[in-house]
A and B are shown apart, each in its own frame.
Chain A
């Protein structure tokens, strides 16, 4: 990928993010009421998107050999399990990631 392509994709992500952050302040600057449907989507969308992102992360998993899916499965379970037990975001992320690195570098 060229530098120009890299710059373009970063600029697109930045521009869209800025737009999303400013939009509510531009639309609802007066006393305009936020539509019920928008409020509803705001309540439920974050949960669904997080589920979508997990699947996105696992899209390159393959099932032809154990090394293609077992490390990811183990580490997703460990990350979630750690979080249920300790409720410490940083610990869950570090624990899951370090275990994954150990598994793909030394075990599988």
Chain B
């Protein structure tokens, strides 16, 4: 395969993500503009954060003028899954030379889903291939954001209710996980622990207690299994 074919292969691979990122990115851009933020802020967010779920939550945190600590802890909890993507990509991204820093930076859920299958990589130029798939994906995300932000600023349409796109995103991911996972305890623990903390601590300070409670609840079965001498 020559470099031209690598570009083509990477582009074709990235196509399923194109539609999703253009639309979701536009949703984020519209939301930010609706909240009164200049498109530059949306652009910078998508360029430097490049984490969809977190950016939707950030739009909310910005409007409510959240403290830095809350923002940091929220980012840790929402993006903690990236730790696990990273762990599973340590070997695959080992010999990627100058592409490696960007590959690690741009490892989103969708990029991970496209690149976690190493058997699909080309014979040569593996680094270039992974780099291009990641780059195309970020291009879709950033361009979608800018289009949405510009549309939200220039066009005057009644966009009330657009904020539900964030809820719909999470409900969709939750449903997909529910359908594909064997056990539902972690999902239920997340829902119920958070609902309980919302009721107890109120809506301005329930998140951190909820995260702590979730971690404890999830650790109980692990500790039990360890104590019984079983594997995990």
Task: Enumerate chain A interface residues (CB-CB to B < 8 A).
Answer: 1, 5-6, 8-14, 16-18, 20-25, 28-29, 34, 36-42, 44-60, 71-72, 75-76, 79-80, 83-84, 87, 89-90, 92-97, 100-105
Is the pair B195, A53 in contact by a Cβ cutoff of 8 Å? no
Contacts of A1 in B (CB 8 A): 62-63, 65
Inter-chain CA distance A18–B19, complex, in Å, is: 25
Contacts of A55 in B (CB 8 A): 190-191, 194-195, 198, 210
CB-contact partner of A9 in B66, B76, B210, under 8 A: B66
Is the pair B82, A20 in contact by a Cβ cutoff of 8 Å? yes
Contacts of B195 in A (CB 8 A): 55
Is the pair A93, B165 in contact by a Cβ cutoff of 8 Å? yes
Is the pair B170, A72 in contact by a Cβ cutoff of 8 Å? no
- Chain B 71-88, CB-CB to A under 8 Å as 1, else 0, gives 110011111111111110
Q: How close is B2's CB to chain A, nearest CB, in angstroms?
A: 30
Is the pair B181, A47 in contact by a Cβ cutoff of 8 Å? yes
Query: A20 and B87 in contact (CB under 8 A), knowing A53-B57, A58-B167?
Result: no
Q: How close is B61's CB to chain A, nearest CB, in angstroms?
A: 6
Inter-chain CA distance A45–B191, complex, in Å, is: 12
Who on chain A is nearest to B173 by CB?
A50
Inter-chain CA distance A53–B173, complex, in Å, is: 11
Decide if B214 is an interface residue (CB 8 Å cutoff): yes
Top-6 shortest CB links A-B: A51-B190, A24-B86, A42-B84, A48-B190, A101-B161, A51-B191
Q: How close is B10's CB to chain A, nearest CB, in angstroms?
A: 20
Is the pair A48, B187 in contact by a Cβ cutoff of 8 Å? yes
Contacts of B172 in A (CB 8 A): 79-80, 83, 89, 92-93, 96
Contacts of A89 in B (CB 8 A): 20, 172-173, 176
Is the pair B54, A104 in contact by a Cβ cutoff of 8 Å? no
